[in-house]
Structure 1
């Protein structure tokens, strides 16, 4: 999914981001405000990830939004849980 589309509907996407990356706080989501670079920074901080891994997870999550809209579940990073 195109990041501009995700950022354009940040009020809804922010809650999906928080559900996927449970260590992110409401404040993290609010401060990111749909900005991809800030969200990557917060993911790296909360999960102790390097830039490549954080980028990979964010790209996978963003592309999964099309999959979720079609009703398929995706796996939360670092767990066996499907969201």
Structure 2
């Protein structure tokens, strides 16, 4: 079952910890800025980890599949 990002946005406080565990280099401020927005998360992953968009999307897909 695919992850519903509307649900994640609505419950962002609950998902913050999971995001922080997976991508520990993201700061609390960056996680606040993301606010459950998938595109913002991809952008922050690219920025923080110096990876291409495709790699950021793949990491996020792997994360989604475990949720």
* TM-score w.r.t. length of structure 1: 0.73
Supply the distance in 2 between the matched residues of 1:12 and 1:29 (Cα, whole angstroms).
12
Supply the distance in 2 between the matched residues of 1:50 and 1:64 (Cα, whole angstroms).
22
Give aligned pairs, total: 65
Q: CA deviation at 1:57?
A: 0.6
Higher relative contact order (CA 8 A, sep 6+): 2
CA RMSD of aligned residues (A): 1.0
Where does 1:2-41 land on structure 2 (aligned, <5 Å)?
A: 2-41=4-43
Unaligned ranges ≥5, structure 2: none
SS in 2 for 1:29: helix
* TM-score w.r.t. length of structure 2: 0.88
Q: CA deviation at 1:34?
A: 0.8
Q: Runs ≥4 in structure 1, deviation > 6 angstroms? A: none
SS in 2 for 1:39: helix
The structure with the largest alpha-carbon Rg is: 1
